[in-house]
Amino acid sequence: MQLLISPASPFVRKVRVLLRETGLLGQVQEVETSTSPLASDAALVAANPIAKIPTLIRTTGPALYDSRVITRFLNDYADASLYPEARIWDILALEATADAIMEAAVSMTYEARFRPEEAQSADWVEAQWNKVNRAISALNDRWMSHLSGPLNMGQIGAACALSYVDLRHDARQWRNGNAELAAWHAAFSKRESMVATAA
């Protein structure tokens, strides 16, 4: 199998961390591709009509896309336990919260990178940051108990989301008022899988 990636993407990083945590790295080749909202790589388009990363090219069926689809597939493929049935709805909600942080933070990045300066909207950027900020506060206030215990996909998603905020929006200082979450993230970021996939 091949995983089409751009290393800075938090959605890609989720999958790359999973590959290392489940021992699948030797079975899935990571292939870097250059794509943007304005220009899509031809090989990526051929595999995924939406032309988004990550995309998983399989030998047994059509390519898979959307990071949550890919992580569920690879978790089952590896017979791993990153989506424990006993807590499945909580894990999925936690992962969705992490993905929402990623989506809003990436949108902020795209506004600055791909729109002409005169067309950029400060109101739009602040609205996206408000989403990020509320979701981070929710992680700190509601989800800390789910961020401890055996490794699950919600934890991986949250760590990758927070690391992306650090990468692109560190001036926003998300740690202010979120001390417990900040301590958790610092510890989780030391995992070999996180160190190996840092952008």
For residue 115, which phi and psi values (nearest 5 degrees)?
A: -110, 140
At 125, list the tokens.
Answer: 């950027």
Confidence of residue 71 (pLDDT cuts 50, 70, 90): very high
If DSSP codes are grouped into helix, strand and coil, which group holds residue 30?
Answer: strand
CA within 13 Å, CB half, 59: 5
CA distance 165 to 174: 8
The confidence score (pLDDT) of residue 199 equals 84
CATH superfamily of 2-77: Glutaredoxin (3.40.30.10)
At 24, list the tokens.
Answer: 């699948």
**pLDDT mean over 134-158:** 96
Domain spans in the chain, listed from the N-terminal domain onward: 2-77, 85-191
pLDDT exceeds 90 at position 42: no
CA distance 55 to 15: 10
Specify the CATH number of the domain 85-191: 1.20.1050.10
At 99, list the tokens.
Answer: 């993905």
**pLDDT mean over 118-129:** 92
DSSP codes, 11-61: HHHHHHHHHHHHT-GGGSEEEE----SS---HHHHHH-TT--S-EEE-SSS
Confidence of residue 36 (pLDDT cuts 50, 70, 90): confident
Burial class (CB in 10 A: 0-12, 13-18, 19+), 182: middle
The confidence score (pLDDT) of residue 114 equals 85
**pLDDT mean over 36-43:** 81
Q: In this structure, what DSSP letter does residue 83 have?
A: S
> Contact at 8 Å (CB) between 70 and 13?
no
Neighbours of 22 (CB within 10 A): 21
CA-atom Rg of the chain in angstroms: 17
* Single-letter amino acid, residue 146: H
CA distance 24 to 54: 16
